[in-house]
Amino acid sequence: MDRSADLTIIAVAYDSGFNSKTVFNTFFKKTEGVTPNTYLKSKS
C-alpha cells in the first residue's frame, strides 16, 4: 500500500521540514502559483 495516499498536505509539509502550515502554504503558492488545496483539486 502506498503510504503517500494517506498523507494530508500538512503532514507532507512537516515531513519535508517546514515548521508551520503558513510557511509551507506561502512557499508552495510562490512556487506553483496556487495554494496546495487548489493544486490538489486541479489534479483530481
Residue 27 in contact with residue 12, Cβ under 8 Å? no
Cα 20 to Cα 11, 24, 26, 32, 35: the distances in Å are: 10, 6, 10, 18, 15
Q: What is the pLDDT of residue 3?
A: 57
Q: What is the pLDDT of residue 31?
A: 96
Q: What is the pLDDT of residue 24?
A: 94
Of all residues in the chain, the percent with pLDDT exceeding 90 is 57
d(Cα 4, Cα 25) in Å, to the nearest integer?
Answer: 19
The predicted-structure confidence for 16-31, as pLDDT tens digits, reads as follows: 999 999 999 999 999 9
Grid cell 489534479 in the structure block, residue? 43
d(Cα 38, Cα 31) in Å, to the nearest integer?
Answer: 13
